[in-house]
Structure 1
């Protein structure tokens, strides 16, 4: 598997699936989640509402992943995952790593070969960027998958640099 980092907009990625840093409600929000819902359109929201009405009446648990259509995005699917909120008093790194492992498992069930990830939990969930990048890259690197290309798509230069450093460390 090839793991890369690019600075850009995840909603513009021409990949099989994009990963959404969702909230447990699956009904849109801010940051990456809001951008994916806005750009992808109403089809994504409708698919998320069906998930809430079916298998996830209480929302998607932290560290789990589920797929929907990508609506108007260039990708075919959106894989929604809920990252943990950072807490200095509690090690939540396993929950963060689970987001990446579970997303890769979902990608495999879909037959996705190219996947774009954001920097999960580093925004309003306050996970320290360098630590989150290391956890993310290690989890992807260590997960057995049929995905050929994993692209971390980072919005700002600081995130891009942190993920590039983590990728070099795990080569």
Structure 2
């Protein structure tokens, strides 16, 4: 597989990225001024948010879920695998990458609200810069990291992958 090397340290500095609780580095780049209210709820929130997200140095995005749909966009570097577990335990892996160079990659992928997901560079030595757009907008109050052991118990058929991409140190 052809690698597209990026300078992770330079990107972290240039883009003003900070460590993310799930692993990797991020910076929010957009928060809509318009607000929406979910059906059957009274609290309003930004209609949409967007971030830069960088995985490098063997880090991964640990299993987590949010209450909104999230669209992942590939920008630069090596392909990244976004693993998604739906409520029925079906596993889908989206490989984000430069689809013009890597035939098995796509430029965008969607994780539906409430699905558990984790991400890693396809090549553990790689680095990948992606973007994530969330609608309705992301709020840390709706961010849930998987409790250790909980997903392995619920989805034993995916135990190895779940354990490998558990919490970050």
Q: Please give the TM-score of this superposition, normalised by the length of structure 2.
A: 0.30
| Structure holding more helix per residue | 1
Q: Please give the TM-score of this superposition, normalised by the length of structure 1.
A: 0.29
| Structure holding more strand per residue | 2
**Greater Rg, structure 1 or structure 2?**
2
